[in-house]
Amino acid sequence: MYTRITPVYKLNASDYLITIAVVAELITYSLFAAAVANGFGRHNEYITPASSISILKCLYGVMMTGLWVSTFARISIACLLHSFSTSKSWKMVLWFIMGFQIVTLIASEIFQLLECRPVQAMWKPVLDADCMPVQQVWAIGYVFVGASMFSDLVLTILPMFLIWKLSRSAIERSLVSVLMGLSLFATVATVLKVVYMKTFDIESFDTFRASMPLFMWCRMEECVIVIAASAPLLKAYIESVLNRLGFPTFQNSVRKLNSWDSSQGPNHYIPSTAASHV
């Protein structure tokens, strides 16, 4: 955010969206920290019933706000990419990704609210409560994870087609590619999360201890996608640091042109390679 208001104030939609994501992340981590303070991550046998209710309340809040982080961070990246090209197909793909992320967020929030009726049954025993089977909940979870991976891959691969067509030095294009491709690390975190989901024992009685790594991988994914949305704006500062370290100055690529002998008229030119042998 600092680089967008200094030295010139130039905030746009992508900046406001990533701000929403950061605020949601602060709320998510606050709830997660509260859950840990109440014993989340310890063995169930050491946690009192009152603490269990507090933990589950906090984790429910984490699940409700956590997806806001990754969703708005991805939409922020899409908005940033939207301004890179005037191509109609380019803009259509990005509008699709933004719409897809919004639909995924709404569907996830509705699912969280309808998982148990009444909703209080998510964190405490309620008489005659009606909750979805655990297997069905996990199956739907895989769908949302797949949607996240798809969006991350598109947002990583798409800018590469544009960056390497730019008339800039190779080192500058490499730097921009790395900055724009950081969302690929979010995909890696998502893959590791899927691996853990696959091996997780959903019938375990030690749920607070067993599910801690899964929640940690979710938080890792959120942090990485927020960094990926913010990193491209640090290009100027990174360029300055690289210059101080002795790397070549970033500049437009120079293409070798043919020599032209003006004395021979406009319809005659001498290629530079031939001229050297005259």
DSSP string computed for 199-253: H--TT-S-HHHHTHHHHHHHHHHHHHHHHHHHGGGGHHHHHHHHHHTTPPPP-B-
State the pLDDT confidence band at 275, using cuts at 50, 70 and 90.
very low
CB contact at 8 A, 135 and 220: no
> Model confidence over 112-171: pLDDT tens digits?
999 999 999 999 988 888 999 888 888 888 888 888 889 888 888 888 877 767 666 666
pLDDT of residue 272: 46
pLDDT at 85 over 90: no
Query: How far is residue 24's CA from residue 61's CA, in Å, rounded to a whole number?
Result: 11
d(CA 100, CA 153): 14
Q: How confident is the model at residue 269 (pLDDT cuts 50, 70, 90)?
A: very low
pLDDT over 60 (residue 258):
no
Task: Look over the chain and give the mean of its residue pLDDT values, rounded to a whole number.
Answer: 81
| Total structural domains within the chain | 1
Higher pLDDT, 215 or 161: 215
Q: Which two tokens stand for residue 209?
A: 């201890």
Smallest CA-to-CA distance from 73 within 153, 16, 149 is with: 16
Percent above pLDDT 70 for the chain: 78
Beta partners for residue 40, in sequence order: 42
CA 83 to chain centre: 18
Give residue 129's domain range.
2-275
CA proximity to 24, closest of 181, 182, 223: 223
The pLDDT tens digits for 4-23 are 666 566 688 888 999 999 99
Q: By percentage, how much of the chain surpasses pLDDT 90?
A: 35
